[in-house]
Structures are given as structure tokens and as C-alpha cells.
């Protein structure tokens, strides 16, 4: 069960989807789901609904609303196609930490207003480039976020990049789970180690897991790197995290 929703934001109107279980008759704990670089598309609708069916109200925004309404990848094309990817990279470049912060505020205001969401803390999950979004949202709103998760995340702890979330995670109060792709060129082992050290130094309750044999993008059913076994494991880990922190 899903419905489209428009969310007022400082930089415009965020088009988004709100997912609930088919039998929902009361407000449910909130989960924000950020898509990977490919944006809104069927495999992420499926992913959001699967999370919702476990007893949550899931808010999935169009991270590219500043540049485009709805899906960005044309039907029949892939976000990896050479004639599509440059557009996505351009749009992603507009998602600075400052822009993300403004969007986080709008999403939290929406959750406060919509009847599907129960009062209390929420969870946030991101994929690929938005694994960083999940960590940053948890760091900027520690009293709101009970759980933050990232899967096959990218560039979480680049040593010489001041925008890497490794520099801000110290304020996180909720639990963190990170499921990494084995030998991911977008998150090499030295970055994983650097982030783990920062999380441990900050005293954050976190879990890092390496999905051995899985490639970057292993949860995206429309990607050649999709790994069904790793995807199922990601859903199990996420379900446990949300159950232990939100239920």
C-alpha cells in the first residue's frame, strides 16, 4: 500500500511516496528510505513496501526533486547506461551536506504531520551514495533517530574530503548498522577501518558486516551486481535493527 505525497521544503517541493502494510489501521513507527543514485524506480518501491509490511510507515523521497519530478532513469534504461549516468552524477552533485540538512528538516516535519506515522523515534536507511545521508541525518538529529543503516555505501570516510560523514558521526545517539560490499571500489577497506574507528571512539553502538562475495549495488534488483542471497541477508539485518530499536 503506497500513496504519493508532496512535501514542502526550503528548496522546493519534495515528491515522495508513503508505504504502509495493507492491514494498517493505526499509526506506525517511521522509517525514511533514501534510494541509491538511480533514484525512484520499481525495485525501490518493492524494497520500501517489504520494509513497511513488517509493521512500519516508510517515507521514500525523490532525492533529485530539485532537478526532476518522479523517476529520473527513463523506462527501459539503466542508471548505469552511459547516456543516463552523467545526468545522475550532475543531480547528485547538487546534494551537498547543506542541501541534505534542509531536506532532513522537511522530512521530519512531514513525519510529524502525517497520520500514518506514530510519535517517537524513527529509523533511516540509505543505499550507495545515501548511506552517507543516513549517517548524516542521524548525526544532525540524534534525538529523533533511533537507528541508521547503510548498505553498499559509498565514500563514507574519505580522508581528505571534509564532506565525508566520518567527520560528523560523533553526535549519533541511535544504533548504526553498515552492510558493506566485499571489495567495493567506492568504499575500500581503509575507509571501512577509518569509519569503524571513528564510531568506536565516539562510543556509538554499531555493527559493521562485510557481505563476502557481494559487489557494490548488491540490493538493487535492476543492477547487474544484484545478489539475491546478499539482498535477503540485508533485509534480515535491517528488520532486526528496526525491531530492536523501534518496536
Mean model confidence pLDDT for the chain: 96
For 75, phi and psi rounded to 5 degrees? -60, 135
pLDDT (tens digit, 9 = 90+) per residue, 28-86? 999 999 999 999 999 999 999 999 999 999 999 999 999 999 999 988 888 888 899 99
Beta carbons of 245 and 175 less than 8 angstroms apart? yes
How many angstroms separate the CA atoms of 234 and 219, rounded?
8
| pLDDT at residue 121 in the model | 98
How many angstroms separate the CA atoms of 4 and 27, rounded?
17
Sign of CA dihedral 86, 91, 97, 103: negative
pLDDT (tens digit, 9 = 90+) per residue, 122-163? 999 999 999 999 999 999 999 999 999 999 999 999 989 999
How many angstroms separate the CA atoms of 52 and 206, rounded?
23
| pLDDT at residue 80 in the model | 82
Q: How confident is the model at residue 7 (pLDDT cuts 50, 70, 90)?
A: very high
| pLDDT at residue 240 in the model | 98
| pLDDT at residue 81 in the model | 87
To the question of pTM greater than 0.75 for the whole model, the response is: yes
Beta carbons of 30 and 111 less than 8 angstroms apart? yes
- Is the pLDDT at 171 greater than 90? The verdict is yes
How many angstroms separate the CA atoms of 184 and 10, rounded?
35
Burial of 223 (0-12, 13-18, 19+ CB in 10 A): buried
CATH for 2-246?
3.40.50.1820
DSSP 48: H
Sign of CA dihedral 39, 43, 47, 48: positive
| pLDDT at residue 1 in the model | 87
Residues 6+ apart with CB under 8 A from 130: 34, 35, 36, 63, 150, 153
Amino acid at each position: 500500500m503506497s500513496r504519493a505525497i508532496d512535501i514542502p521544503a526550503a528548496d522546493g517541493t519534495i515528491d515522495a511516496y508513503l508505504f504502509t502494510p495493507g492491514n494498517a489501521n493505526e499509526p506506525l513507527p517511521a522509517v525514511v528510505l533514501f534510494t541509491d543514485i538511480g533514484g525512484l524506480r520499481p525495485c525501490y518501491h518493492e524494497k520500501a513496501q517489504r520494509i513497511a509490511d513488517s509493521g512500519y510507515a516508510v517515507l521514500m523521497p525523490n532525492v533529485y526533486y530539485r532537478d526532476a519530478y518522479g523517476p529520473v532513469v527513463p523506462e527501459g534504461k539503466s542508471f548505469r547506461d552511459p547516456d543516463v549516468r552523467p545526468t545522475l552524477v550532475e543531480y547528485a552533485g547538487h546534494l551537498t551536506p547543506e542541501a541534505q540538512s534542509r531536506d532532513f528538516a522537511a522530512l521530519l516535519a512531514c513525519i510529524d504531520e502525517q497520520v500514518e506515522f506514530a510519535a517517537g523515534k524513527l529509523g533511516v536507511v540509505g543505499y550507495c551514495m545515501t548511506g552517507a545521508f543516513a549517517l548524516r541525518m542521524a548525526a544532525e538529529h540524534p534525538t529523533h533517530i533511533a537507528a541508521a543503516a547503510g548498505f553498499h555505501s559509498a565514500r563514507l570516510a574519505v580522508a581528505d574530503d571534509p564532506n565525508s560523514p566520518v567527520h560528523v558521526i560523533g553526535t549519533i545517539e541511535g544504533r548504526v548498522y553498515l552492510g558493506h560490499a566485499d571489495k567495493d571500489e567506492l568504499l575500500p577497506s581503509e575507509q571501512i577501518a577509518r569509519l569503524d574507528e571513528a564510531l568506536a571512539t565516539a562510543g556509538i553502538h554499531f555493527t559493521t558486516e562485510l557481505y563476502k562475495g557481494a559487489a557494490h549495488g548488491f540490493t538493487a534488483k535492476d543492477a547487474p551486481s544484484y545478489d539475491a542471497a546478499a539482498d535477503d541477508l540485508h533485509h534480515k539485518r535491517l528488520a532486526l535493527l528496526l525491531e530492536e530499536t523501534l518496536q
